[in-house]
Amino acid sequence: MNKEQRDEVFNHAKEWIYEAGKEIRDQIHAPLVVDTKSNPNDLVTTMDKATEEFFTKKIKDTFPHHFILSEEGYGDNLKSMNGTVWIIDPIDGTMNFVHQKRNFAISIGIYYDGVGEIGFIYNVMEDILYSAKKGEGVYKNNDKLPRLRKNIPFNETMLSLNHFWLCENRLVDEKVMQKLVKDVRGARTYGSAALEFAYVAEGIIDTYLTLSLSPWDYAAGIVIVNEVGGVTTTVDGDAINMLHKSSVVTGNRGIQQTILNDYVKTARK
């Protein structure tokens, strides 16, 4: 994708995100139909579906040769990342959307032949848009974010993870993860993977860990964290594949490595 093409796609996507976000804010107190998906706590609403349908229609009308990978079933069934692929989560943090009516985001990553070109994470209720184009850094609304700090002392690290890591489970030794939570300065759980990536990029969280996410949860975040000098891998330290579910360890380069090597790899069962 050349700069002209990237700018054209970016400008359309940004306009549609603001339009979708305004619609969600306008409807935030309207009655919702809430269904469950893979388990009773995996929620989907009429607003998730309507928002995804809005984006897929706009994209197919404007860019008929582009592909879409998305959470709620309006996208394509993709077997490869060839060409331009929009990876869309219409509402990331659906449980927050339902219960709190805040702390959720629209997340859109745009890839060309498997390379992340554009990332958007829109905190809808706060009207804060994190956006990135490959090679041009990250903006929080109109302000360019600085590159991530280097050499943060480990005992000053802010960590984000969900409680699953800390409870008895079949994937990790929770005792190792409990030690990690004690060794860092503070631990947080925000309930929206996309926002957690955005907070890593902003430098207000140093690392975010999660055991199983789908491409639409991290496609935009990876581009955005990468553009401020951060790094994202699986819990085994491998690159993330956009066509499958994955574990994720994203963050400030030095801290991410320490957490991966000294804690996560030891904790893996």
Size of the site for Ca ion (CB under 5 A): 3
Tell me the window of 23-31, 85-93, 170-178, 188-196 that interacts with Ca ion (CB under 5 A): 85-93
Tell me the window of 77-85, 86-94, 135-143, 187-195 that interacts with Ca ion (CB under 5 A): 86-94
Type of residue numbered 97: F
Asked if 217 interacts with Ca ion (CB under 5 A), we say no
Type of residue numbered 228: V
What span, in angstroms and rounded, lies between the C-alpha atoms of 254 and 140? 23
What span, in angstroms and rounded, lies between the C-alpha atoms of 13 and 86? 10
Interface residue with Ca ion, options 71, 117, 206, 227 (CB under 5 A):
71
What span, in angstroms and rounded, lies between the C-alpha atoms of 162 and 240? 20
The order of strands in the sheet holding 67-70 is: 67-70, 84-92, 105-112, 115-123, 128-133, 138-140, 143-144
What span, in angstroms and rounded, lies between the C-alpha atoms of 214 and 209? 14
- Cβ at position 92, least distance to Ca ion in Å: 5
Residues that bind ligand 2AM (CB under 6 A): 38, 41-42, 89, 92-94, 162, 191-193, 213-214, 217
Q: Which of 118/195 has CB closer to ligand 2AM?
A: 195
| Residue 15 interacts with, from Ca ion, ligand 2AM, none (CB under 5-8 Å by kind) | none
Asked if 206 interacts with Ca ion (CB under 5 A), we say no
- Cβ at position 105, least distance to ligand 2AM in Å: 9
Asked if 202 interacts with Ca ion (CB under 5 A), we say no
The runs of H, that is alpha helices, within 203-252 are 215-227
* Alpha-carbon separation of residue 151 from 63, 64, 219, 250, 267 (angstroms): 43, 46, 27, 16, 24
Q: Which residues pair with 251 in a beta bridge?
A: 207, 231
- Cβ at position 74, least distance to Ca ion in Å: 12
Q: How many CA atoms lie within 13 A of 223 on its CB side?
A: 31
| Residue 237 interacts with, from ligand 2AM, Ca ion, none (CB under 5-8 Å by kind) | none
| Residue 213 interacts with, from Ca ion, ligand 2AM, none (CB under 5-8 Å by kind) | ligand 2AM
- Cβ at position 218, least distance to ligand 2AM in Å: 9
User: What sign for the dihedral angle of Cα 105, 106, 110, 111?
Assistant: positive
| Residue 193 interacts with, from ligand 2AM, Ca ion, none (CB under 5-8 Å by kind) | ligand 2AM
- Cβ at position 147, least distance to Ca ion in Å: 29
- Cβ at position 193, least distance to ligand 2AM in Å: 3
Tell me the window of 8-16, 63-71, 116-124, 222-230 that interacts with Ca ion (CB under 5 A): 63-71
Closest CA to 234 of 222, 218, 246: 246
Contact 66, 86 (CB under 8 A): yes
Closest CA to 158 of 117, 194, 190: 190
Helix or strand or coil: residue 152? coil
Q: Which of 94/250 has CB closer to Ca ion?
A: 94
Asked if 89 interacts with Ca ion (CB under 5 A), we say yes
Residues engaged in binding Ca ion (CB under 5 A): 71, 89, 91
